[in-house]
Amino acid sequence: MLVDVLELAGIGLVAGVISTVVSLASIVSYPALLAFGLPPLAANVTNTVALLFTGVGAAAGSRPELAGQGRLLGRLGLAAGLGGAAGAGLLLVTPSRTFEMVAPWLIAGASLLLLRPQRPGQMGLGGESGLALRAGVFCVAVYTGYFGAAGGLIMFAVLAAALDRPAAGVNAVKNVVSALANAVAALWFAFLGPVDWAAVGPLAVGFLAGGWLGPAVARRLPGRTLRLAAALCGLAVAVKLGVDAYRGA
């Protein structure tokens, strides 16, 4: 039992760092929960609840990048919260097969978007005050609450298209906005989903520590390197999920 607790905490630590740097925590933690014997739905909702602590740690570790961003986070956080609630509600009443088929294309598209050359001052989606940005955040949050795999990477791509900030700053905003989407989804799952609370505890401790450490790693990476690393990891995940989803379909 102690070994399982330590293993889950270690998995959470690694996934928390990966989440805050290249936005792919669930690619580590979700398969690990399946390996511990949780059914797919229970693993999904347990992972979402525990991921809340990555956001807490990331917010604490990203204070320099988040200074003065309160209004932006408020606008985007509302859209993310509503989207996360909608996605979680859908997950509890519908099968996830549709998202399993669509997810590889979404992740691949977001990854390619990160590879696009970015010119300072030339922002898409109407900039940070645009309605299109909030709509994009809402849609990604629906995906995050419902399916979740690489949702942070898709959120990073949407924010990077609209925010005129260094990659580390965009990453910090992404961490908080994604955490808000996860938080609302986690509330749904806490009351209505098959959460394995014994797994949540140690996983959350690891996520909290990894989320706090991750921004320090991201801060030291050149902006182009951070975007390239996220894009390449995302493309690899898209290929893997695509093979799994369409094999025998």
Write out pLDDT tens, residues 50-101. 888 888 888 888 888 888 888 889 999 999 999 999 988 887 787 767 767 7
Q: How confident is the model at residue 137 (pLDDT cuts 50, 70, 90)?
A: very high
3-state secondary structure the chain: CHHHHHHHHHHHHHHHHHHHHHCCHHHHHHHHHHHCCCCHHHHHHHHHHHHHHHHHHHHHHCHHHHCCCHHHHHHHHHHHHHHHHHHHHHHHHCCCHHHHHHHHHHHHHHHHHHHCCCCCCCCCCCCCCCHHHHHHHHHHHHHHHHCCCCHHHHHHHHHHHHCCCCHHHHHHHHHHHHHHHHHHHHHHHHHHCCCCHHHHHHHHHHHHHHHHHHHHHHHHCCHHHHHHHHHHHHHHHHHHHHHHHHCCC
Write out pLDDT tens, residues 7-41. 888 888 888 887 777 777 777 787 888 888 888 77
| Domain count of the fold of the chain | 1
- The stretch 205-210 carries a mean pLDDT of 90
Q: Which domain holds residue 186?
A: 2-246
Q: What is the pTM of this model?
A: 0.79
- The stretch 213-239 carries a mean pLDDT of 79
- The stretch 224-231 carries a mean pLDDT of 77
